[in-house]
Structure 1
Amino acid sequence: MTSRPGPRTPSTFPARGTYSEARRIGSLLRKETVGGALLVLMAAIGIVWANSPWAEGYFALRDFEIGYEPWHLQLSLGAWAADGLLAIFFFLIGLELKREFVAGDLRRFSTAIVPVAAAAGGVAVPALFYVAIVAQDPELLRGWAIPTATDIAFAVAVLALIGSHLPSPLRIFLLTLAVVDDLIAITIIAVFYTDTIDIVPLLLGLGTIAVYAVLAQRYRQFFNLKPAAAWLILLPIGIVAWGFVHAAGIHATIAGVLLGFTIPVLHRRRDHVPETEPGLAEVFEHRFRPLSAGFAVPVFAFFSAGVALGGVDGFLSALTDPVTIGIVVALVVGKPVGIVATTWLTTRIRGIRLDPALKWVDLVGVGLLAGIGFTVSLLVTELSFTATDPHHDHSKVAILLASVIAAAIASVLLTSRNRRYRRIALAEAVDEDGDGIPDVYQQS
């Protein structure tokens, strides 16, 4: 008599992943913490300067043009920050997405389904909140995508400042959620915020990206170079590709994402590559992440966050604008509602249970952190409303206000959970067999 197999043990969420993945995520979050602090500092300097007696100097600096017009590169410093420097940030997003799809948690459907669904809910629900609030004025619907983005650097900076011992699985979920969120935001920019396309520069740009991709995949064969030197050849080609895409009328940050996707990512176990040998993706991340976090994104924040509020009356006027109300409600309420509700629904459908060490209120905290929209939200504002439109500045006020509110509520909630997080972190650090890997990562 054959025995029937027992009931299948339900999967748990968030997925713990491998120890090497947890270490990589932890290292990445530490780097983003520094960048987030600089981003907050430069944004504060920008908004204070823009509302000081010396505001004229700030706007003269932001609007100062430099470049070469025949190549469509006669841009203001503010535009250079948004179109040029921010491409570095988006290049790293493309690189991180490629890594997640090749060697991270997104390569497996079972571990990818929940954060992907949560990210989708965290984009769709805020957009619906915004649309519902501004629906009476069709002109305001152009800003529907502003509250859909999450600023991972800002969110991690807040997390570091409140001293939270967020458990490793939840950290991985937060980062994966933000990465997928960025992919959706990039798609939105490419599809909905491209008015006209110049075919010739576009074809030249795609051709240059193709050349870049071939060289990135075959740099050892063509040049007999180590990864540490290959970037010297690829960087000029990437700049040319960015220039062509910009001239084509497509937001040039898309070029950064496409270039990031072309970089080969090692799957060390599959490719039999030792940990001590860096791949091209690791070299690019090592060289460009400090440039992005320490310079590119803070400079963009400095130029984008500078909004002349017009004193108390101007600030109160901004607060009554449906755009402001829509963005604040969408980020502070819509983001956590979308993320938590979609996560709950997906886990119920898939028969996945929450990690016993966590509670649903922990995911509410993550959802609130995701409501800190900044870098990409400011970029979408630039694409949604012209600089002369009052809604342009009101949108920026809303983004800043919503980010502060979301950060404050998340801080209160996560601080109250801090003692529990600390106990979980101590439990995860147990290494009874002394092999250097916490036992929690070796459980069957």
Structure 2
Amino acid sequence: MHDIRLIRDDPAAFDAALARRGFAAAAAEVLALDERRRVAATKAQDRLARRNEASKAIGAAMGRGDQDAAGALKAEVAAIKAELPALEEEERAAGAAQDNLLAQLPNLPAADVPLGQDEASNVETARWGELPAFAFQPAEHADFGPALGLDFETGARLAGARFTFLRGQMARLQRALTQFMLDVQTGEHGYQECAVPLLVREDAMFGTGQLPKFAEDSFATTDGRWLIPTSEVSLTNSVREQIIDLPAPLRLTALTPCFRSEAGSAGRDTRGYIRQHQFDKVELVSICRPEDASAEHAHMVRSAQNILERLGLPYRTMLLCAGDMGFGARKTFDLEVWLPGQAAYREISSISWCGDFQARRMNARYRDENGKPAFVHTLNGSGLAVGRTLVAVLENYQQADGSVIVPEALLPWTGGLHLLEPVR
């Protein structure tokens, strides 16, 4: 949510920032609703003050025996009482319309975010690792994965398209990846492991920006709850409607299933294990003071990069342009892992600094150096998306006979499994 005071102070700058995101100017409409609400509120306050003044005057008039004056004052009080509901409704309606409009507008990009409207304008800031050389034509995971336990047919038979059933050694490899990621993030990078609800209320989804704009991208239950699209929702909302002590960044992580309807993504990555309706992810969330946000963003990026480097997976780091960032982000770095089967880099983690955008929606605050409540800054990212990491391991470590070498970093978690072999 946006700070209305900033829009009042510089509406042109607000509209210019929206334009960088590819959104039409909105300041005039926001401020018109704001003025309508403030006028109604002022009128209501004035009428209430006059009602209280007139009510007191009635007693004085009665005390001096002035029945005519008392009667006129009573009539005035009754008229004001009848007038107030309409003024209060006008204030409420204007405020609700303003809030609804603001809730549809994305976060404003940071000053150093590149211009552009799509991924073509993203900027590569770093690259790590040597691309693997194969003595054979590397295959996509969807072609050789089924022989290793990546069972697309059973998943589709049970739940429909974009669900997958993992068997045996493949399930073991995925479990090893999740344990490895969690242990590194908690043991080395300072994140506190959490076990969180997978079903949340509507206000939690609103708090992190999934609602109202992206309702069609998520799954709702019949009792008004929502399946989380990422544990960012549960972790970030853990500080909602609170004033917390924040001497240092609060770093949280959780491994959860994530559920996404992927509305509007027909035809994109429908083959294989990259884009699923249900997938596992190790989420990273940080709650911090504004002055700590830049350093915390860098820490979060390194926390995700470290996982890829330990697994020996080549990747590049991309600074997203304004038009390609997520709705709640002020600044985002994507990590893109190399997939030999596609001969392309593909996103495996998106790490965003949201400023106070989510905090305002959640009313999450801390006490600043003067002891006054102020909004926290929130950050979130993947450390990593487990399914996509599994795909990257399969494609980068594939062998000519269809087997896959297990990365050395995972061996403490695989129970002796060092090679995935096809089951003929």
**Range class of TM-score, shorter chain:** under 0.3
Higher strand share: 2
Please report the TM-score for the alignment, with normalisation by the length of structure 2. Answer: 0.25
Identify the structure with bigger relative contact order (alpha carbons < 8 Å, sequence gap 6+).
1
More helix by share: 1
